[in-house]
Amino acid sequence: MAQIFPPSWNKLFEEAGNEVIFLRRFLRNIFKLGFEWNEFIRQSYIIGYKSLPLIAITGFVIGLVITIQTDPTMKSFGARSYMPSMIAISVVREIGPVIIALTCAGKIASGIGAELGSMNVTEQIDAMNVSGANPVQYLVVTRILACMVMVPILTLIGDLIALFGGYIGENMDQNISLILYYNKSFKFLMFSDFFPAVIKTVFFGFAIGFIGCYKGYYSNRGTEGVGAAANTAVVYASLWIIVIDAIAAQLTNIFVYQ
């Protein structure tokens, strides 16, 4: 019997089916008794606190570069006084959440994929199953929920630091106080700019945690599988962040700005 789809398509459908099954296992284990609070707090510390220096540098560079690149254009239109508001709206709405999420995907998703991949290679996950422990609840649920909590927090911190980077950029050729800069930044910033950006970062965190856990949990045996799990976790998590952002932008435009 001839194949309906090419072999590459069959592999794609099989991968999608496995992800749906893994998602169902994750959802079922969220509400089971014996939630691993200690592991959740530990993962929140690793994902959040240890990622903070990288996010701070990223946010500062975002604000600084946007200000330096945009300042000549705003000056030519005589709208330089609106620079802080423009930086705040662009960073909070779109640039901050996406770039910070992509940065988190590079650090967090790869780390989770490599960690769970190495546990899979050394048969630690199999040992947990044999001993009667629940590896999905202990390893997967805690990491995904920690990502969903910490990525929005990291984004908010990164946005504030990005505004400070914009302030430094503004003071390169003019003198403006920090209080005045932040007052101008939040003057035109509305709740409708802030709330959708926070909501989509929760989904960014879910994508980062889910893809990292899935690729690591089902990595191939051998040391090469660990590297492949870390690499594909970053690629797929980054792709899903872009897709989620496109969907969120369209939904926000329909339900918020119209």
Task: Give me the domain span that covers residue 149.
Answer: 36-255
Per the structure, the count of domains in the chain is: 1
Residue 21 in domain? no
SS3 content of the chain, % helix, strand, coil (to 5): 85, 0, 15
| Tens digits of residue pLDDT in 209-246 | 999 999 999 987 677 888 899 999 999 999 999 999 99
Pair of tokens at residue 35: 């939630």
CA geometry: angle 212, 201, 119, nearest 5 deg: 15
Closest CA to 136 of 8, 244, 226, 28: 28
Q: What is the pLDDT of residue 132?
A: 83
Higher pLDDT, 141 or 258: 141
Residue 232 in domain? yes
Q: What is the pLDDT of residue 2?
A: 46
Question: Alpha-carbon distance 185 to 175, whole Å?
Answer: 16
Classify residue 94 as exposed, middle or buried by CB count within 10 Å of its CB (0-12, 13-18, 19+): middle
Q: Is 78 left (phi over 0), alpha (psi -120 to 50) or beta?
A: left
Residue 31 in domain? no
Residue 110 in domain? yes
Q: What is the pLDDT of residue 38?
A: 95
| Tens digits of residue pLDDT in 112-124 | 999 999 999 888 9
Residue 102 in domain? yes
| Tens digits of residue pLDDT in 11-53 | 788 888 999 999 999 999 998 888 899 999 999 999 999 999 9
